[in-house]
């Protein structure tokens, strides 16, 4: 497995799968979710509206994955996953987000997947905690896949670099 840690905008990354740190509604929002929806174009919102009507009537459960087309992004699929909210949810659900996305990527035959730091923005999960979770999951993940960890802020990338260098 190849792991890259980069600073940038996840909507600009070229990968088979782009992971969206979504909210339960699947209808866009702030942060990564808003950036991905804006970059993908209106087709994404239409598909997410259909998913809400058919499969996720009560919203996407925390830790689960919904798959859509990528529309205008440089990807084949967008995986939407809802991370835990610090102080409200069990933070161990963060592992489910990453593990379920990786399993779905293998199932779909993806060769590359790009992750943001799920739940570290508005949901207030500490970046170092996130980095440790991701490192733990990836060290036990064996399929040959390129994993790109995309951090928007330089400070967050520095934390990930430090955690992954240990």
88-124: pLDDT as tens digits = 999 999 999 999 999 999 999 999 999 999 999 999 9
Per-residue pLDDT, 143: 80
Region label for 32, one of left (φ > 0), alpha (ψ between -120 and 50) or beta (otherwise): alpha
pTM: predicted TM-score of the whole model, two decimal places: 0.96
pLDDT in tens, 130-153: 999 999 999 988 788 999 999 999
Catalytically active residues, by annotation: 33
Per-residue pLDDT, 144: 87
CATH code (residue 110): 3.40.220.10
Domain limits at 100? Answer: 2-165
Task: Write out the chain in H/E/C secondary structure.
Answer: CEEEEEECCHHHCCCCEEEEEECCCCCCCCHHHHHHHHHHCHHHHHHHHHHHHHCCCCCCCECCEEEEECCCCCCCEEEEEECCCCCCCCCCHHHHHHHHHHHHHHHCCCCEEEECCCCCCCCCCCHHHHHHHHHHHHHCCCCCCEEEEEECCHHHHHHHHHHHHC
- For the cut 90, the answer to whether the pLDDT of residue 51 exceeds it is yes
Average of per-residue pLDDT values in the chain: 96
- For the cut 90, the answer to whether the pLDDT of residue 1 exceeds it is no
Work out the average pLDDT over 37-63: 97
Cα within 13 Å of Cα(72), Cβ side: 12
Find out whether 126 and 118 touch, Cβ atoms under 8 Å: no
Work out the average pLDDT over 39-60: 97
Domain count, the chain: 1
């Amino acid at each position: 497995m190849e792991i890259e840690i980069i600073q940038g905008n996840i909507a600009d990354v070229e990968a088979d799968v782009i992971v969206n740190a979504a909210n339960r509604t699947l209808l866009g929002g702030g942060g990564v979710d808003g950036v991905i929806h804006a970059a993908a174009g209106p087709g994404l919102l239409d598909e997410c509206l259909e998913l809400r009507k058919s499969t996720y009537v009560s919203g996407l459960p925390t830790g689960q994955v919904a798959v859509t087309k990528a529309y205008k992004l440089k990807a084949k699929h967008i995986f939407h996953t809802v991370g835990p909210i610090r102080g409200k949810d069990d933070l161990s659900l963060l592992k489910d987000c990453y593990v379920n996305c990786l399993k779905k990527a293998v199932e779909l035959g993806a060769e590359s997947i790009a992750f943001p730091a799920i739940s570290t923005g508005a949901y207030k999960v500490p970046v170092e905690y996130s980095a440790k979770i991701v490192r733990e999951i990836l060290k036990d993940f064996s399929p040959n896949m390129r994993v790109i960890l995309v951090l928007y802020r330089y400070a967050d990338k520095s934390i990930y670099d430090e955690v992954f260098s240990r």
